[in-house]
Amino acid sequence: MDHLRRRAVHAVPRPPGLRHPVNAAVPDEHQGAPASRPLEITFGVAALAFTAGYLFLTTQIPLRREAAAGQIDARFWPMVIGVSGVVVALAILAVALTRPAPGREDLERIQPGGYVRVVATLGITGAFIALWSLGSVILFGYRIEIFPIAAALLMAALMVVYGHRRWVSLVIYCVSVTAFVYIVFGMLLRIPL
């Protein structure tokens, strides 16, 4: 019986030049990038620098009024986020320094237009920050807040860059999210936007 199995395996036709059996596993064409410890350490250091900078900036948030004892002010939640970010960045850096670098086989290839989208995102975000820094503008005798307009334009531009094409949902989404953010943070919590 065993000799019949051997004959069946040898009876499988092989294409010319093929040295391994037909049913053997063929290596995948897409092999992930090799593990990189310096890349992991660089990411950890960059994350720590970014979150530490963010934490420093949270201490610079202007307060309209000091919070009473037992209350939180406008700096509280940004500082919680900043401290949490620093803790996570320290953990990432510690893991990068003490453990072997993880494999990167699961990463996908860069999609066509990916670099253009990243550059466009950075440009749009820079324009948003520049507009937002104006605060408000007096036009025809009316004081106009810049944040709601800039935030709606930011979301609309980013959605278009990343492939959204239906203008009705684009307008509805941008206006509703901007209104929500402005009402909650600008009016209810009185955080200067």
pLDDT in tens, 39-77: 889 999 999 999 999 999 998 888 777 767 777 777 888
Alpha carbon distance, N-terminus to C-terminus of the chain: 82
How much is the pTM?
0.53
Angle at which helices 146-161 and 114-132 cross, to 10° = 180
Q: Where are the domains of the chain?
A: 35-65+73-104, 112-193
71-80 long-range CB contacts below 8 Å, 24 or more apart? 74/189, 74/190, 74/191, 74/192, 79/55
Q: What is the pLDDT of residue 189?
A: 81
Q: What is the pLDDT of residue 73?
A: 78
- Can you list the residues of the chain whose pLDDT is less than 50? 5, 26-27
Find the helix or strand (DSSP H, E) in which 158 lies. Answer: helix 146-161
Q: What is the pLDDT of residue 20?
A: 52
Neighbours of 147 (CB within 10 A): 20
Type of residue at 78 = P
Cα–Cα distance for residue pair 122/125, rounded to 1 Å: 5
Q: What is the pLDDT of residue 13?
A: 55
Cα–Cα distance for residue pair 10/58, rounded to 1 Å: 72
Q: What is the pLDDT of residue 117?
A: 92
Q: What is the pLDDT of residue 187?
A: 84
Extract the tokens encoding 152: 């709606």
